[in-house]
Structure 1
């Protein structure tokens, strides 16, 4: 992990964005957005590993944002933050947004840091697995070709 983990944090509360950026700017490569629409734009313009979003935002909820992000690229890990205990939001987050974790606000610095690092580890392992599957399929194709050649000779 030579490069920093690229984290997009979307929240309509500017002080939360500023606090997050101030807290984690040395640890992660932090991108911030004040709305779901702005978050989508940032996501499309950058290679993001982890998306962290508030649930309750005007215009587009966090879950709606995560659903849209999944349509663009389902690979990055998704974490939902909320200051409200809404069981329907939790269910939607899991079912529609396929979130990795659901955390309550206000977030605890160490818990959030560990959650982001854990999410990245899963993200990284999934990417490695996909690459290994591609290599294995290529090797299998080459082996099949060699076996056919032997059978024909």
Structure 2
């Protein structure tokens, strides 16, 4: 298994399938994990962390059952501040995005339906920015 992972979180299976395919096509050096809820995403994050695998990027839906994407990413940021966080949404509230930028260091907000080029460019620039910060 790759020592570095990109995690996608969305309650729609077709969205996760598309994200996984697009990310795998462009980021073959990284594994791509998916989760259908914030709870499932936490399980994946904790398991990977225990195995010494680093989650580099989380692409999360905003409107999910149980917890909204901004709240999920804020809680992730509190425990794993170096993870690059991206919201992918069709209906996020502006206040939620502002809050995620302030409290979760949200890297970007992409709108559904997304364009593959925009997704890949966002992840690539987030990874590059993250590398520069760690130098």
> Corresponding residue for 1:44?
46
Q: Considering Cα pairs closer than 8 Å and 6+ residues apart, tell me whether 1 or 2 has the greater RCO.
A: 2
For the Cα contact (< 8 Å) 1:83–1:106, is it kept in 2?
Answer: yes
Q: TM-score, normalised by structure 2?
A: 0.85
Relative to total residues, which structure has the larger strand share, 1 or 2? 2
Equivalent pairs, count: 126
* 1:13 corresponds to 2:12: yes
Relative to total residues, which structure has the larger helix share, 1 or 2? 1
Q: Point out where structure 2 has 5 or more consecutive residues left out of the alignment.
A: 49-53
For the Cα contact (< 8 Å) 1:80–1:101, is it kept in 2?
Answer: yes
Aligned to 1:31, which of 30, 33, 48?
33
Once superposed, which parts of structure 1, at least 4 consecutive aligned residues long, lie more than 3 Å away?
none
Distance, in Å, in 2 between the alignment partners of 1:25 and 1:18 is 11
Max Rg structure: 1
> Corresponding residue for 1:110?
117
Q: Point out where structure 1 has 5 or more consecutive residues left out of the alignment.
A: 129-153
Distance, in Å, in 2 between the alignment partners of 1:5 and 1:114 is 18
Distance, in Å, in 1 between the alignment partners of 2:85 and 2:23 is 17
RMSD between aligned residues: 1.7
Q: TM-score, normalised by structure 1?
A: 0.76
